[in-house]
Amino acid sequence: MKRLPIGISDFRELVKGNYVYVDKTKYIYELVSSSKYVFLSRPRRFGKSLLLSTIRYIYEGKRDLFKGLYIEDKWDWEERYPVIKIDFSVDIREGKKIYERIKEELELNYARYEIEMDKEKDIPGNFKKLIIELNKKYKKQVVVLIDEYDKPILDLIEDKKQAEEVRKTLKIFYSVLKGMDEYIKFVIVTGVSKFAKVSLFSGLNQLKDISLDRRYGDICGYTQEELEYYFKEYLKDVNLEEIKEWYNGYNFLSNKVYNPFDVLLYLDKKEIRNYWYETGRTEFLFKIIKQKNFDLPYLYKKYYTSEILEKFDIEYISIEALMFQTGYLTIKEEYKYENEEVLYSLDYPNKEVRKSFNSEILFYITGDYQIDKTTLINIAFKREDLQEIKKQIEVFINTISYEVLKNEYVYSAAIYGLVYATGYNVIIEDNTSKGRIDLTIIVNNKLVYIIEFKVILTYNSDNSNKANIEFFVIEKKEEKGKALKQIREKEYHKKYLNYEKIYLVGIEFDRVKKDLVNFEYEIVK
């Protein structure tokens, strides 16, 4: 029985160590046969490093490693090429260190081919020298593999000044590849994000982006077919539908695929867990969301062009693009219009990511991981305990700082995050013939909660707070009960009459008191 390749990113080690290898050489063969300069964006832990390692050993002519694989009888193994591998996966927290990091990578490549660096030349100069010297020494064009090209920038993305300095350095470094066609056989650049080409790859216009090329949608990750074929021995007594619900769902315009790292951890432990959360978080994303007061509940009801999903830079950080590129969102549906414009809707890829993301949102809103609260409200929804639901929402809101609650969007974002983290089927802005339901929760395909939120103003004339009195000069007291009244009048429940039981729930918060001031419900059936 072959071993699970958990954390193995070197292809030779994988083969020699008797690990399972999901054969991706068909995609690699088609790619290297048709392209010269390639760019690929994929979320973290998706097998990008293994992909580059596999390409390396193909060009180095290591036929013995490819026995039984698709490419074995199709590649000319007598043709061997020198390979430069640049890896930026190590953390860089200070701009000045990027130069040192590039130098280290170049030194490793120089040493591997027993060529001396020129101490008089700068880093770009030595990169160019390495390419030319390898071409001269081996009488072959050179293959260049750049892994995690964007990580030095992402490590510093919150500090625009430092991030800009790193970008300038990398831009100069990558610019070496411009005008080197006669010396280069193949180049592939991989990373998580897709920085604007003009800002980082200026002049390298020939870089072909295959990130959303449906021909290569499955080049990283495991399809359902691959999972069941290559890991058959590990799937005995396993609920395949449960695995799919938790770890599958990433869509790059081909088959839906699993995040390899997460599903491998599951196959090892045979335990449904949130491995995405355990194996590292994209902290800068959540800090940016918090800084921008981004209205997350409406994110999933929008449509995006491929240009928007690819639009990301230091000066302009698109939350939608960043969430898509980092794997928190994936393409749900593709829409083609008469003018041939293509739009995409987004959603969480699976249950694991949905729980991870919303747990993180709750942390950055409240400063605390709300595990106990998500568990308690989960049970309350399942048991139809409306008083407990009210209690948990009230407790939860009171964990959020007053300063954060100054922004009204926080109420909805916080509650949505709390509910999403339960794992139930949650629908935001649920369309009906008479309007949109703020939040629909479906429990076990039997029980439905239709919820409407309102942020209102309740003014007590006895309030002695001067600031509030001055504020209320222009504000009028609002009556409670608007939320539930709206649900009744719009008859939102009719959409769900086929379900066993329907609860109509109106929830109202006070914009000054920063508290839940009204919670009422009724049962329709």
- DSSP letter string, 225-283: HHHHHHTGGG-TT--HHHHHHHH--EESSSSEEE-HHHHHHHHHHT----HHHHT---H
**Which three-class secondary structure string do you get for 98-157?**
HHHHHHHHHHHHHHHCCCCCCCCCCHHHHHHHHHHHHHHHHCCCEEEEEECCCHHHHCCC
Burial class (CB in 10 A: 0-12, 13-18, 19+), 33: exposed
Q: Tokens at residue 213, please? A: 């090329």
* Residue 99, C-beta contacts closer than 8 angstroms, at least 6 positions apart: 123, 169
- Written as six digits, the tokens of 93 are 């927290």
Q: Are 226 and 108 in a shared domain?
A: no
Angle at 372 between CA 370 and CA 375, to 5 degrees: 105
Backbone φ and ψ for 60, nearest 5 degrees, come out as -80, 0
* Alpha-carbon span 439 to 429, nearest angstrom: 6
User: What is the per-residue burial (b if ≥16 Cβ within 10 Å, else e) of 191-212?
Assistant: bbbbbeeebbbeebeebbbbbb
The secondary structure of 396-440 as a DSSP string is HHTTS-TTGGGSTHHHHHHHHHHHHTTTSEEEEEEEETTEEEEEE
Query: What is the structure's pLDDT at 466?
Result: 46
According to the model, what pLDDT value does residue 226 have?
A: 98
The residues, any chain, with a CB within 8 Å of residue 324's CB and separated by 6 or more, are 309, 330, 331, 346
Placement of tokens 């390899």 in the chain: 260
**Distance separating alpha carbons of residues 441 and 509, to the nearest angstrom:** 20
Dist CA 274 CA 218 (whole Å): 23
Residue 501 contacts residue 446 (beta carbons within 8 Å): yes
Cα gap 312→466, rounded to integer Å: 45
Q: Answer with the one of 365, 391, 411 that is the final residue of a domain.
A: 365
Judge whether 253 and 334 are in contact, CB under 8 Å.
yes
In whole angstroms, give the CA distance from residue 193 to residue 158.
Answer: 15
Same domain assignment for residues 134 and 162: yes
Angle, vertex CA 182, rays to CA 180 and CA 184, nearest 5: 65
Q: Residue 1 domain-assigned?
A: no
Same domain, 298 and 377: no
Which residues face 223 on adjacent strands? Answer: 257
> Has this prediction a pTM greater than 0.85?
no
Among 313, 333, 365, the domain boundary falls at 365
Give residue 491's domain range: 370-525
Asked, for residue 5, whether it belongs to a domain, the answer is no
| 152 and 40, same domain (yes or no) | yes
Query: Each residue's pLDDT tens digit in the chain (525 positions)?
Result: 999 999 999 999 999 999 999 999 999 999 999 999 999 999 988 999 999 999 999 999 999 999 999 999 999 999 999 999 999 887 665 555 888 889 999 999 999 999 999 988 999 999 999 999 999 999 999 999 999 988 888 887 777 888 888 888 888 898 899 889 999 999 999 998 876 555 667 656 678 999 999 999 999 999 999 999 999 999 998 999 999 999 999 999 999 999 999 999 999 999 998 887 666 556 667 767 766 655 565 566 677 787 777 766 777 777 788 888 888 899 998 888 766 778 888 888 998 888 888 777 766 666 655 556 677 888 999 999 999 999 988 888 887 766 666 655 667 667 777 887 777 888 888 889 999 898 899 998 899 999 998 888 876 544 444 444 444 444 567 788 999 999 999 999 999 999 999 999 999 988 787 788 999 999 987
Look at residues 315, 339, 365 and tell me which one is the last residue of a structural domain: 365
Residues 167 and 226 in one domain: no
Query: Which DSSP helix (H) or strand (E) runs through 37?
Result: strand 37-41
Cβ neighbors of 375 (< 8 A, separation 6 or more) are: none
Question: Are residues 226 and 196 part of one domain?
Answer: no
Sole residue written with tokens 């949608």: 217
Q: Distance between CA atoms of 313 and 301, rounded to whole angstroms?
A: 24
**In this structure, are 148 and 239 located in the same domain?**
no
Paired tokens of 41: 């964006």
Task: Report the CATH number at residue 161.
Answer: 3.40.50
Ramachandran class of 459: left when φ > 0, alpha when ψ lies in -120 to 50, beta otherwise: beta
pLDDT of residue 276: 79
Is residue 261 located within the same domain as residue 354? yes
| CB neighbours of residue 322 within 10 Å | 24
Rounded to 10 deg, the angle between the 160-174 and 123-138 helix axes is: 30
How many domains in the chain?
3
Other CB atoms within 10 A of residue 414 CB: 24
Instruction: Give the single-character DSSP code of 3.
Output: B
Query: Is 141 in contact with 79 (CB distance < 8 Å)?
Result: no
Residue 342: left if φ>0, alpha if ψ -120 to 50, beta else—which one?
Answer: beta
Half-sphere exposure of 357 (CA within 13 A, CB side): 22
Residue 349 falls inside a structural domain: yes
In a domain, 467, yes or no: yes
Nearest-angstrom CA–CA distance, 363 and 401 = 12
Tokens 């509030």 locate to 468
What pLDDT score was predicted for residue 2? 95
Under 8 Å between Cβ of 420 and 435:
no
Q: Which residues contact 223 (CB under 8 A, 6 or more apart)?
A: 255, 256, 257, 258
Asked if residue 4 belongs to a domain, the reply is no
Closest CA to 485 of 522, 517, 516, 448: 522
299 assigned to some structural domain: yes
DSSP class of 4: P
Q: Which helix (DSSP H) or strand (DSSP E) does residue 355 occupy?
A: helix 351-366
My answer on whether 159 and 96 are in the same domain is yes
307 and 390 inside one domain? no
State both tokens at 206. Answer: 């020939």
Are 233 and 291 part of one and the same domain? yes
Buried/exposed code over 285-305 (b: 16+ C-beta within 10 A; e: otherwise): bbebbeeeeeebbebbeeebe
Domain-located, residue 2: no
Same domain flag for 164 and 46? yes
